[in-house]
Structure 1
Amino acid sequence: MDESTSAQPDEHPEHKEGGRYTAKGKEFVRDTHYISTRITTDGEDGYPVEAGRYRLVAARACPWANRSIIVRRLLGLEDAISLGLPGPTHDARSWTFDLDPDGKDPVLGIHRLQEAYFKRDPDYPRGITVPAVVDVPTGAVVTNDFPQITLDLATEWTAHHREGAPQLYPEHLRDEIDEVAHRVFTEINNGVYRCGFAGSQEAYDKAYDRLFTALDWLEERLAGQRYLVGDTITEADVRVFTTLVRFDPVYHGHFKCNRNKLSEMPVLWAYARDLFQTPGFGDTIDFVQIKQHYYVVHTDINPTQIVPQGPDLSGWLTEHGREGLGGRPFGDGNPPGPVRPREKLTPGHNPLVPG
């Protein structure tokens, strides 16, 4: 995808005016120029798969980064790839490690993710984005190509997958997964941003219609099947989940995606709850950080930076009834084990965690 924009999205904080993400009179177009270096078994790009060498930097607040956190957990790669967690907000320069003692990542020893980008390229001209995979020995970013990162975790890191890990990108389903994932990205993952960052009424109206046309398509597709592609969880489900889980807390109000709430779309609401209650999905979601990020960072949309208290999250734990459609979440495998102590969510931030 060859897109660029003068109004940067939330995970691209290189905008010139702090907190401004809309361009008056223009529709939102995402910058999709990423560092495309890959970490592979053959090390063709100079970075071979090697347990303990790399650190995944991924903010829980960001939907694109949340994907990589989910996939890493589903595949059991916690011992092979460490996880750095920036805080939920950033300034115009960079994501920062303000959740860590002294505001410094304990492995990389940096305060700002920007430092790892500049280790790779001192004149790096684009957004300081998450997720980013950092080469720990050099401290330099290897890649921030978020769609490829999760595919490579599923296909190149198989020697380090846990026993019973799911097949998230099985060869016989890749064409269908790619087709579905493309529509999910253009119309839904990015569609909510086209609504929220629209610079004109015309751009917003067009984005709104595209988004809900796609959500209606999903509602119809999932009415008769438990998962998006095949009868097990795949990459396609991971990609749509991170948008659906943010829909009512953020996109419905903050981004004006308000034809209806997710909780008012019976099939999608049940599908989202099914995934949320599946180990590896809901246990990565920090609703407090998600709301802080969007409502605090986007000051041109929410100048007061007031973070809403709602919505009520208890519904995420209600019965979904999707088991009746068949399917097995992990195929012939099994769920991941307990969340690692350092990566556990804070009580009050997620209904799965007792308060």
Structure 2
Amino acid sequence: MGQTETEPGNTAYGRKPFRRSASHFTDRITADGTDGWPVAAGRYRLVASRACPWASRAVISRRLLGLEEALPMAIVDPIQDDRSWRFTLDPDGRDPVLGIRYLSEAYDARERDYPGGVSVPAVVDVASGRLVTNDYQQLTLDLATEWRALHRPGAPDLYPADQRDAMDELMATIGRDLNNGVYKAGFATEQAEYERACLALFRCWERIAQRLTDHRYLMGDTLTEADIRLFTTLVRFDVVYHGHFKCNRWKLAEDPVLWAYARDLFQTPGFGDTVDFDHIKRHYYQVHTGINPTRIVAVGPDLADWLTPHHRERLGGRPFGDGTPPGPVPAGEEVGVAGRP
């Protein structure tokens, strides 16, 4: 996750309101290689956590666009230690391609004593072992546009040119009030601060629900980047944000529109097949010890409800536009049984 003033590993718990730090490494991987990093199949490695909503955006985009072979992926342990994200899920505790134990080693190879923390998603240059970018906001937009030559046949257009201005405005609102809003509430240290965050969050929630009453997706009839950014917060809401972050005005499952919309996306290839509820729950409940010092992981809710009928198909729409769904999850990238409904 993007490092913040109040995240684990920082002694600022309880001192400042939540603020998500800007990405420090903002180089872009582009078709023309303007920043010195040209798009090239197999050159880079995406490092992600299935617990992190920001990293999950990149995981979903990569899958929808069919970039699995062009951009291989590493998944880190959902439980961090004092050196942050680690490759303890891999044999010998090392990433088999990069040969490192901690993502921080790729950061150090790029720049020693950099400001901020070690965040995911991160893209690493395989040959040099150097971090290229941790700019989670721009990364998925570039996957949708700059990596187009490597997209699978039938890949959807996740950032259509004729909708970008409206999308950017909507995603900024969702980012401020929902994606970050749950953190502002969860890491609040004063009652008024917490209540402001919750009020803004649920006001935005109601506007989004109204928007989706008559439209299957945020931008109309097809999936876009905006849906991905909303989904990664919604899929974590009842599992962790409602209780752990005290965003408990109501549950996602109590909102007929957003609950149906979230299930619709979850049951769409490329969304639910990337979600690991086990990683999500263990990360939030066991890493955020300032909020949950006992590190006890909640047993609920019933994940099987994610597979119940949603009936959103009645609104019409074509999830992939003129394209097609992605194929099966590549071998080795399947979510384990503990993480599935």
Q: Which runs of 5+ in 1 are unaligned?
A: none
- State, as a whole percentage, how many aligned pairs show the same letter: 61
Following superposition, the deviation at residue 22 of structure 1 comes to: 3.2
Alignment match of 1:144 (pick from 134, 148, 152): 134
Pair 1:235 & 2:225 matched = yes
* Deviations 1:194-234, CA, capped at 9 Å, x for gaps: 00000111110111101111111111110010000131000
From 320, 325, 330, the equivalent of 2:320 is 330
How much has 1:35 moved relative to structure 2? Answer: 1.0
Distance in 2, matches of 1:230 and 1:137, equals 42
Deviation at 1:139, TM superposition (A): 0.3
| Contact 1:198–1:204 (Cα < 8 Å) also in 2 | yes
The answer for the alignment partner of 2:280 in structure 1 is: 290
Query: Is 1:117 equivalent to 2:116 in the alignment?
Result: no
2:57–2:229 CA contact under 8 A, matched in 1: yes
Q: Is the 8 A contact 1:27 1:204 kept in 2?
A: no
Does the 8 Å CA contact 1:14/1:128 hold for their aligned counterparts?
no
Report how far residue 124 of structure 1 moved: 1.6
Inter-partner Cα distance in structure 2 for 1:290 and 1:339: 20
Match of 1:73 in 2: 63
The Cα RMSD (Å) is 1.3
Deviation, structure 1 residue 6: 3.3
Aligned-partner Cα distance in 2 for 1:206–1:123: 35
Structure 2 contact 23–134 (Cα < 8 Å) conserved:
no
Return closer, same or farther for 1:197/1:278 CA change in 2, 3 Å cut-off: same
- Structure 2: where are the runs of 5+ without partners? none
Query: Are 2:263 and 1:263 equivalent residues in the alignment?
Result: no
CA 1:14–1:22: 2 relative to 1, 3 Å:
closer
* 2:13 is the counterpart of 1:22: yes
Per the alignment, residue 7 of structure 1 pairs with 6
One-letter code aligned to 1:261: K
Name the SS of the counterpart of 1:224 in structure 2. coil
Does structure 1 residue 245 correspond to structure 2 residue 223? no
1:184 paired with 2:174, answer yes
Spell out structure 1 runs of 4+ moving beyond 3 A. Answer: 3-6
Letter in 2 for 1:87: D
Cα distance between partner residues in 1 of 2:130 and 2:157: 30
Q: Deviations over 1:170-211 (max 9, x none)?
A: 101111111110000000000000000001111101111011
Match of 1:165 in 2: 155
Q: What residue is the counterpart of 1:135 in the other structure? A: 125
Q: 2:47 aligns with which of 40, 57, 69?
A: 57
Q: Secondary structure at the match of 2:243?
A: coil
Equivalences, count: 340
Deviation of 1:348 after TM superposition, in Å, equals: 3.0
> Is the CA contact 1:73–1:280 (under 8 Å) kept in the aligned structure 2?
yes
User: Normalization by structure 1: what TM-score?
Assistant: 0.94
* 1:305 corresponding residue in structure 2: 295
**Do the aligned partners of 1:22 and 1:28 also contact (CA within 8 Å) in 2?**
no
Could you tell me which of 180, 186, 207 is aligned with 1:196?
186
Alpha-carbon distance in 1 for matches of 2:191, 2:250: 19
Match of 1:346, as an amino acid? G
